[in-house]
Amino acid sequence: MIKINLEATSQYRDLDDFSEAYYVEVQKLIVDKAFDFLGIFNFQHLTPKTDISNIDGNRIKKIVSILSNNKYQPQPITLSKSNQKGIKDFLSKNIYPSFNSANDKKQFENLLMFFTNQKNIKGIGLKEIITNKPLELEKHSKKLNKHFEGLLKSSVYIALIEYLLDYQTIHTNREIRDLFFQNINVKICPYCNRNYVSYIEYNNSKVIGPTLDHFLSQKKHPFLLASFYNLIPSCYVCNSNLKSQKETTNKKNLNPYIDGFSNAARFKLLPIPNGYSVFLDIDHTHSNSKRISSKQKISGNAILFKLNEIYGVGHRDEIEFIVNTCDRLNSAFESNIQHIIGKDFTANDFYEFYFQNYYDESNFNKKSLSKLTRDLIDERLKWIF
């Protein structure tokens, strides 16, 4: 519903510029883990054996667990960087799969080379899958899925990719967390414009924060787990309760990093017994419709996130309050209000003062129900705005 943008205080020019900074931090973690993975792989398969004594012991355990398809048990051997013989014996007996063909082994090596930023696949590098925009990401995903089709049939390699592209580092890694939440201007869920998703920490510990929705699903697009334009800060209701495992696509849905509803979809008042409800009026003939989206994309999001049902039923108290607030400014005040606006402050100033919300669409992600509020006020008080 609401387009995501940068904080006004951000040092970055735009989202593309910021995605480059995000990549710089994220790729450090991905490449570091992938090199350790490659070290374990070479330790098992190369002659002479590589030295893995510089790899953190806990990371060795995680990597061996993935390679052994979660068959690893800490007993009877201790997997540590000082116990290379024990690791070698364990891998030789238990590693899954066992690379029955030279092609299996080569593809696995290519996968690790891709994640260590040493090899492009079909002209696609690690930077492209982290920074490119949604349409390009979808194309990259299809190419990489096709190239590694054989490996992706195994849960081992899915687990490997999930480990390397662990998007939860946005919450757990301080450098990435600070970079992300200090620059991305999302305090209200962009899908519903209802629930607060501000990241708040106390004593260096997370208190609350947004969930991260994968616009293109994790299941169908495993290579896009950490892609900037594929991670939508959103509320739990939209991400888990409403969307859950349902697929969103660039063809049928709006990605909030790219577009919002703007004026191509407006909440309209609907009189009902004892009050008002609202419905979302999608005007696909609006002059901005081609720029922001098609009717199909807006409808796709409205249906998926049940905007008509939630707003029409769940926010009748707020709707009534907005209507009553507007009706207090009847036409008898028109000349006085217009005189004040023209002399002392702007229409935006008056709007924010009187209605305690934002009129400018670029600020809708700062306060709950800001789009509903403006749409109804525009309809009710046309003589002011």
Could you state, in order of their start, the residue ranges of all structural domains in the chain? Answer: 1-253, 262-380
Residue written as tokens 């790219």? 258
Cα 26 to Cα 132: distance, rounded to the nearest angstrom:
14
Token code pair at residue 38: 């490659």
Predicted local distance difference test score (pLDDT) of residue 86: 67
The residue-averaged pLDDT of 78-85 equals: 59
| Rounded-to-integer distance, Cα 19 and Cα 31, Å | 17
**Mutual orientation of helices 15-45 and 155-164 as an angle, nearest 10°?**
130
pLDDT in tens, 324-366: 988 888 666 767 777 777 666 788 888 888 889 999 998 999 9
Mean pLDDT (whole number) for 376-384: 85
When pLDDT is averaged across residues 267-283 and rounded to a whole number, the result is 92
Q: What is the pTM of this model?
A: 0.86
Is residue 240's pLDDT more than 90? yes
Tokens of 335: 């000349």
Interval 226-243 mean pLDDT: 95
Q: Measure the CA–CA gap between 169 and 176, rounded to whole angstroms.
A: 7
Look up residue 212 and give its two tokens.
């991260």
Angle at 47 between CA 41 and CA 48, to 5 degrees: 105
